[in-house]
Structure 1
Amino acid sequence: MLIEHAEAPPENDTVTRRHVDNLVEMESNFHATQTLSARPEQPLRLMHRVKANKGLKLDAAGNVHAPSMKQAFKFLTVHRKTFFCHYLGFSFYAMTLFCMLSWTPAFYMRKFGLAPSDTGYMLGIVVLLANTSGVFCGGWLIDWLAKKGYSDAPIRAGVIGAIGMAVPAIAFTKVSELWMSVALLAPAMFFASFPMPASTAAMQILPPNQMRAQISALFLLISNLIGLGLGTTLVALLTDRLFKNPAMVGSSISLLNAFAVALTLLLLIKGCRHFRESLKHEGLA
């Protein structure tokens, strides 16, 4: 891009020249080159060259290729085993998180007689500390595994998180003391947040650059339908239809979490192998 001014700033206009110099030294995705003539009557030219985007597939004319949804589904079909394990594995992982976020307040109010305000304050602190740190630690674990040479680092981090979540997510509704329940809920929430960075990282590594948004959108659709839709609804159905007692909501939470964790581990453990094979197929290993 070429920017021309009719006249260059006068020699004694130090403020204008300093402003021009600052523009030239921009540290974004541009390189700026300034050519300033010794004769003030000649124009000042600023040339900005945009850095080439890396990892973009180009067509024969050199333009960025925008794949259709049909091509995205074709890519998913080629790696169907990988994405089947990824989509469903992390969706059942999310089911545990949404189940606890949605029904833990009702559990504490029904079993321990807490007021809604007390439950809100207590769970707010747990979510603020445990879930937030879980997201950061999940991302750190992915980086650490990648540095150790694990090409399946995002999926492997999900497996580790699911293992850490299994016992506390099932047991926090089975203890008789409130403090013990909260002490178990905190690590359950911590490890339940691991799929946020893990699932996202996996989708940014394998698909081509231009397909990542489409593939991510499909994952979010499936994850919300299974995790948020079923994760909240099934607890109510189990409580009303199976146990037929509102006070048994804790048992419904534990039963659903046990089911979801088992499926998560089964799918993600298998997904590690399929993810490595897909990376080799795409020449990314």
Structure 2
Amino acid sequence: MASVAEDQTYPSPIAAWGAVAILFTLSIVSMLDRNLLSLLVPEIKADLGISEVEAGTLMGVAYALFYALGALPLGWAMDRYSRPKVIWFGVTLWSLGTVACGFARSFWPFFAARAVVGSGEAAIIPGTYSLLPDMFPRHKLGFAMSIFSMSSKVGAGASLALGGLLTALIVPAAAFGMPLIGEMKGWQLIFIIAGVPGLLLALTIFLVRDPRRARGTTAQSAASFADYGRFVWANRRFIFSHHIAIMPLVALIFGFYAWLPSFYQRVHGLNPAELGGWLGLAISTGPVLALPIHGLVTDRWFRSGRSDAHLRYLIGSLLVSLPFAVGAFVVASPYVSFVMIGIFFFAASSYLSLPTVTLQLVLPHDLRGKSAAVVLMMNGIIGAGGGPMVVAALSEKLGGPEKVGQSLMICAAVALLSTAFLYLFALKPLRTMLARHAA
């Protein structure tokens, strides 16, 4: 199925893995800037005078809508211009947006700052999905993508752990007098401190040389979104199932990121400093251990002749994760709950890399950035944007903020079963596309 000897000349392993390391680091920074808000919800609600649903809007729609909208031009740019330059622009933009969150004194300025964060962070995924297939052979792409995908969980865990540390050092509700600025609350200072390092780290992407783009099957080297639309329609049985299937799961993951801290605060009585380290460890440890395993096993299975290995493995891992995602909100001990969340992310973390690898195996080179942009747009608006709001709305429907655990449990069951079921429809057309690609 996948031959070690391939026509394309790839960059050296040192250059390829160096690029993975830099993209990994930038992705961690993006997760810190994205998730820090979830630890500071009580103080922000009190200072800005906003409701539970408005807080969900800041965590969801304000970020995700512009993440989705930013993905389209950035994905187009990835297929046409220097990928390191486009990524640098995105990192710089989202870092400035994080700093701007620290200066927000009402809902709408905060909304605008979160929109800037989302727009900039839309550069990382299209950039990575465009670069890595030009740096690694097909039979090694699953492992490389899995290693990069660890960054989102390391970043999610680190954002909670670092956020918890910052809340211990800088009391979020306290007032501080700042030269030239005036009085600022502790949570505002935390955002500023979190945003500044990204402005410097953005420059590290220029250590990555933009590799020669692999040859594809489209008619021209600078394909348009119309070309992508024609490709999608010609392969609609696979593409529609693939693109739609991931959305419920993305909504669940963003709902978890947004509301798990509130669950442990409200239901188990933990403060941000206590829960930050434990929840960060639970979110990050499982994927860090599991993602290399997911990548190695599926690459080996793919080489053995199972063309749909990545997607088939993904379906199984999601079903295995289901009882732990539900059980975490039933057990009485918060520490047992942390363990179950960790096991859930261990099993389900395959979603971070395997759908992408599957798609890259069948996409022409000049449609990769655009495809990533379209997937991000769909997941951003419907998944990431809707996830935190759905959890908040369901909590209120069930009886109020203290019902957030029940809301998360219901969302977990529905999302995991829906995603696994929808991916089943993609298996047969995927095998057909890969057979045609090999021929």
Asked if TM exceeds 0.5, the reply is: yes
Counterparts of residues 88-103 of structure 1 (less than 5 Å): 88-103=244-259
RMSD of Structure 2 on Structure 1 (CA): 2.3
Alignment match, 1:220: 376
Counterparts of residues 255-270 of structure 1 (less than 5 Å): 255-270=410-425
Give distance in 2, aligned partners of 1:57 and 1:259: 38
The answer to whether the Cα contact below 8 Å between 2:243 and 2:375 also exists between their aligned partners in 1 is yes
The answer to whether the aligner puts 1:252 opposite 2:407 as a matched pair is yes
Q: Please give the per-residue CA displacement for 1:184-242, whole angstroms capped at 9, x wherever unaligned.
A: 111112223211111220121111121121112111111222321121110000001x2
Alignment match, 2:35: none
Give distance in 2, aligned partners of 1:114 and 1:28: 48
Unaligned runs of 5+ in 1: 1-26, 30-50
Higher mean alpha-carbon deviation, 71-80 vs 177-186, is at 177-186
Alignment match, 2:298: 142
Residue type at the aligned position of 1:247: E
How many equivalent pairs are there?
Answer: 232
* Identity score, percent: 24
Higher helix proportion (structure 1 or 2): 2
Q: Please give the per-residue CA displacement for 1:62-108, whole angstroms capped at 9, x wherever unaligned.
A: xx632221111011011112111111112222222222222111111
Closer, same or farther in 2 for the Cα pair 1:262/1:149, shift >3 Å?
same
The answer to whether the aligner puts 1:277 opposite 2:432 as a matched pair is yes
Give distance in 2, aligned partners of 1:58 and 1:205: 15
Give distance in 1, aligned partners of 2:224 and 2:338: 48
Give distance in 2, aligned partners of 1:221 and 1:284: 30
Closer, same or farther in 2 for the Cα pair 1:97/1:136, shift >3 Å?
farther
Closer, same or farther in 2 for the Cα pair 1:28/1:236, shift >3 Å?
closer
The answer to whether the Cα contact below 8 Å between 1:97 and 1:189 also exists between their aligned partners in 2 is no
Counterparts of residues 1-285 of structure 1 (less than 5 Å): 54-57=214-217, 65-240=221-396, 242-280=397-435, 282-284=436-438
| TM-score in terms of structure 1 length | 0.75
Give distance in 2, aligned partners of 1:95 and 1:112: 24
Residue type at the aligned position of 2:247: S
The answer to whether the Cα contact below 8 Å between 2:245 and 2:420 also exists between their aligned partners in 1 is yes
Higher mean alpha-carbon deviation, 206-215 vs 136-145, is at 136-145
Give distance in 2, aligned partners of 1:98 and 1:165: 16
Alignment match, 1:9: none
The answer to whether the Cα contact below 8 Å between 2:214 and 2:365 also exists between their aligned partners in 1 is no
Closer, same or farther in 2 for the Cα pair 1:74/1:245, shift >3 Å?
same
The answer to whether the Cα contact below 8 Å between 1:134 and 1:190 also exists between their aligned partners in 2 is yes
The answer to whether the Cα contact below 8 Å between 2:325 and 2:412 also exists between their aligned partners in 1 is yes
Secondary structure of 1:119's match?
A: helix
Larger Rg: 1
Closer, same or farther in 2 for the Cα pair 1:225/1:139, shift >3 Å?
farther
Q: Alpha-carbon deviation of 1:52?
A: 8.4
Give distance in 2, aligned partners of 1:249 and 1:81: 37
